Chain A
Amino acid sequence: GAVVSQHPSWVICKSGTSVKIECRSLDFQATTMFWYRQFPKQSLMLMATSNEGSKATYEQGVEKDKFLINHASLTLSTLTVTSAHPEDSSFYICSPKGPLQETQYFGPGTRLLVL
Chain B
Amino acid sequence: QQQVKQSPQSLIVQKGGISIINCAYENTAFDYFPWYQQFPGKGPALLIAIRPDVSEKKEGRFTISFNKSAKQFSLHIMDSQPGDSATYFCAASMSTSGSRLTFGEGTQLTVNP
Decide yes or no whether A61 CB sits under 8 A from chain B: no
Residues of B within 8 A of A41 (CB): 106, 108
Residues of A within 8 A of B31 (CB): 101
Which B residues between 77 and 113 are near A, CB-CB below 8 angstroms? 89, 93, 95, 98-101, 103-106, 108
Decide yes or no whether B46 CB sits under 8 A from chain A: yes
Number of residues from A at the complex interface, CB < 8 A: 24
A43-B105, A43-B106, A101-B93 are known contacts. Are A106 and B43 too (CB-CB below 8 A)? yes
Residues of B within 8 A of A108 (CB): 42-43
Q: Let me know if A43 and B43 touch, CB within 8 A.
A: no
Q: Let me know if B98 and A44 touch, CB within 8 A.
A: no
Q: Let me know if B100 and A109 touch, CB within 8 A.
A: no
Bound Cα distance A97, B42 (Å): 18
Decide yes or no whether B45 CB sits under 8 A from chain A: yes
Number of residues from B at the complex interface, CB < 8 A: 22
CB distance from A105 to the nearest CB of B (A): 7
Instruction: Tell me the nearest residue of chain B to A51, going by C-beta.
Output: B98
CB distance from B89 to the nearest CB of A (A): 6
Q: Let me know if B100 and A34 touch, CB within 8 A.
A: yes
CB distance from B6 to the nearest CB of A (A): 8
Q: Let me know if A49 and B100 touch, CB within 8 A.
A: yes
Q: Among the interface residues B46, B93, B99, B106, which one has the most CB atoms of the partner chain A within 10 A? A: B99
Q: Let me know if B41 and A111 touch, CB within 8 A.
A: yes
A49-B98, A101-B99, A109-B41 are known contacts. Are A1 and B93 too (CB-CB below 8 A)? no
8 chain-A/chain-B pairs, Cβ below 8 angstroms: A1-B46, A32-B98, A43-B106, A44-B89, A44-B103, A46-B101, A101-B99, A106-B45
Beyond the given A95-B101, A104-B46, A107-B43, could you list 14 further A-B residue pairs with CB under 8 A, ordered by the A residue number?
A: A4-B43, A6-B43, A32-B99, A34-B101, A42-B105, A43-B104, A44-B44, A44-B89, A91-B41, A101-B32, A101-B93, A102-B32, A106-B36, A106-B43
